[in-house]
Structure 1
Amino acid sequence: MTIVATSAPVAAPESSQSAISWGAILAGAAAASAASLCLFVLGSGLGFAAVSPWSNAGVAAGTFAVSAAIWLVIVQWLASALGGYVTGRLRTRWVGVHTDEVFFRDTAHGFLAWCVSTLIAALLVGSAVVGTVSTGVQATTSVLSGAAQGASQGAAQAAGNISDPSGYLVDTLFRPVSDQLPPTTPATNQGDVRTEAGRIVATSIANGEMTDADKAYLAQLIAARTGIPAADAEKRVNDMLAQVEAAKTKAKEAADAARKAATTTMLLGFVALLIGAFIAAVSAALAGKLRDEDVPSTT
């Protein structure tokens, strides 16, 4: 009787070499961040050239937002491709590793390089936002301090200040007929009447509407000050309120357009980031394959 001895399979020893090449990842992330910075500077220059402060000149806000989002996709595509390729070519060669495992490691290296470069960009953007907020807080403090000092000068000066948003509307209410003051109204009371009317208009704008009592009283002040009939004074009040509502509507339309543009930019920016992660992983896998093929034979 013959006994055949069989040997149990011996597992391959675990390699002491790390599967992650952090040097290659950091190098790829640095290349991607630098490329992103250069492309963002180029995009900012093109954006400033496209917009214009003049009406009927330059691109619209919606077109600018879409163009900015498309440029973000291009930036992510090019920068991620460069970073992933640099990572794949500089990573440590793995000897005795299955090709499927090599492919996975290469894609993981490209993805990690994209992650590091994105975190670097987020830190830079965050520091810029913090600086902007700090500057805004300092400016607000200065404005509040100046406002507290100027409040003691009286409401009459505030009503005549060109920075008062209701100043022009109040001026239109008290424009006399044929540029002549009624002889029954002393000119010395002009400041007091305008101040009172200015408070009525400012309160109505803050509340969103003017009460019927305020409308009637304001029309009486206008009729007494300008000498026009009561019906014409009421028409001036209604015309002024119509201008206020038109300004509110225009502001809401501008805010809605800005909201839509921001939404479009954020959604396309999210898509751009996903594209960047995919491109970085694919570029690293391709570069790693090329690196392994370029290894000279030892025969």
Structure 2
Amino acid sequence: MAQLDDVAIVTAAPTDHEDHSSYVDWPAIIGGIVLASGVSVVLLSFGAALGLTFTAAADRPSAHMVGMGIGVGLWFIWVQVSSFMAGAYLTGRLRRRFYDSTAHEVEVRDGAHGLLVWGGAIIVGALIASSGLGAVTTAVGTTAGAAATAVGQAASAGMSADGDSYFVDTLLRPAPGTPATSEDRAPVTGEVLRILANAGSGDVSADDRAYLGSLVAARTGLDEAQATARVDTVLESYDQARTEAAEAAETAHRVGIISAFLIAASLLVSAAGAYWAATAGGRHRDERVEFDPLFRRIG
């Protein structure tokens, strides 16, 4: 009977049976996007209740519009950064780690997941803003689209047809004690409106001013001097209103530029914050950091 003198025992090296088809952990990313979107909606709804929206800033008087716009922009930056960082941190803690890389590579993968949360939350926010979900978009109310709409409305506020009609009515108002004429005023009103519109951003010409004086005298019963004085007074008020409207439009335009810049800046800062928060979450995941003692002290 043969005897085996030497027996060789071969021990196989441990193998990693984890699936390496993709290093992107989508469930963790989706969880981070949901958290970031939820935190953002809650904070923006709270801010909207306090009037911290670009629409509210555009409705403020010109003297306070820029300051209000900057304040709303800073609030928006804080909301963006905090919500993205919360979602990215959660993703970093939930991400499945593969033990086939260096510590630096692990950090890069965690940070990349944070950036995916950042990009995904932006896409979700854009879809919500453009989908016509009234209750949500009204509560949020501070997206770039809302800022552009508010600025556009304020910039086009100018002298409307109704505003010009008021000055026409003031010009053609009958003098006290003069009976109102039954003659149709529509042709004269249209003519005066065209004179005011033709003035544009400049003053009404001397010829048009004299013609308006004759119209006022003929329609109101005032003498020539009184009619001329009324024309001068009304045109002065008209020029002042037109100047104030132009200043309000220019201020609204500046608020729009500042708001758009702050929104873009907040997104860039949020990207850096999301990257850092995801790496912090991954580090706490690997170090098995527990928050139970903190919660026990709070409770």
The structure 2 residue matched to 1:247, chosen from 216, 225, 241, is 241
Asked if 2 retains the 8 angstrom alpha-carbon contact of 1:111 and 1:277, the reply is yes
- Using the alignment, how far apart are the partners of 2:49 and 2:90 within structure 1? 28
SS in 2 for 1:103: helix
The structure 2 residue matched to 1:168, chosen from 148, 156, 166, is 166
Q: Which residue of 1 aligns with 2:86?
A: 82
Aligned-residue offset at 1:64: 2.1
Asked if 2 retains the 8 angstrom alpha-carbon contact of 1:170 and 1:197, the reply is no
Aligned-residue offset at 1:211: 4.7
Aligned-residue offset at 1:67: 1.6
Aligned-residue offset at 1:177: 4.2
Q: Which residue of 2 aligns with 1:188?
A: 182
- Using the alignment, how far apart are the partners of 2:208 and 2:132 within structure 1? 47
Q: Which residue of 2 aligns with 1:216?
A: 210
Q: Cα–Cα, structure 1 residues 44 and 206, in superposed 2: closer, same or farther, change >3 Å?
A: same
Aligned-residue offset at 1:165: 3.5
Specify the code of the residue in structure 2 equivalent to 1:199.
G
Aligned-residue offset at 1:251: 0.5
Worse-superposed segment, 272-281 or 124-133: 124-133
- Using the alignment, how far apart are the partners of 1:85 and 1:55 within structure 2? 38
- Using the alignment, how far apart are the partners of 2:181 and 2:190 within structure 1? 20
Aligned-residue offset at 1:218: 2.6
The structure 2 residue matched to 1:60, chosen from 57, 60, 64, is 64
Aligned-residue offset at 1:210: 4.1
Q: Which residue of 2 aligns with 1:137?
A: none
Asked if 2 retains the 8 angstrom alpha-carbon contact of 1:174 and 1:222, the reply is yes
Aligned-residue offset at 1:106: 0.7
Q: Tell me the number of residue pairs that the alignment of Structure 1 and Structure 2 aligns.
A: 245
Asked if 2 retains the 8 angstrom alpha-carbon contact of 1:77 and 1:276, the reply is yes
SS in 2 for 1:204: helix
**What is the correspondence of 1:151-162 to structure 2 with a 5 Å cutoff?**
none
| CA root-mean-square deviation | 3.4
- Using the alignment, how far apart are the partners of 2:249 and 2:164 within structure 1? 21
- Using the alignment, how far apart are the partners of 1:229 and 1:55 within structure 2? 43
**What is the correspondence of 1:1-299 to structure 2 with a 5 Å cutoff?**
16-17=19-20, 18-47=22-51, 60-128=64-132, 164-181=162-179, 187-189=181-183, 192=184, 194-207=185-198, 208=200, 210-294=204-288
Aligned-residue offset at 1:61: 2.1
How high is the TM-score relative to the length of structure 2? 0.71
Q: Cα–Cα, structure 1 residues 55 and 124, in superposed 2: closer, same or farther, change >3 Å?
A: closer
- Using the alignment, how far apart are the partners of 1:218 and 1:129 within structure 2? 52
- Using the alignment, how far apart are the partners of 2:133 and 2:225 within structure 1? 54
Moved over 6 A (4+): 12-15, 129-133
SS in 2 for 1:69: helix
SS in 1 for 2:131: helix
Alpha-carbon deviations, 1:203-252, whole Å to 9, x = none? 12322264544433332232233443323322222222222211110111
Alpha-carbon deviations, 1:172-225, whole Å to 9, x = none? 3234444234xxxx9333xx3x33331122112322264544433332232233
SS in 1 for 2:50: helix
Q: Cα–Cα, structure 1 residues 71 and 285, in superposed 2: closer, same or farther, change >3 Å?
A: same
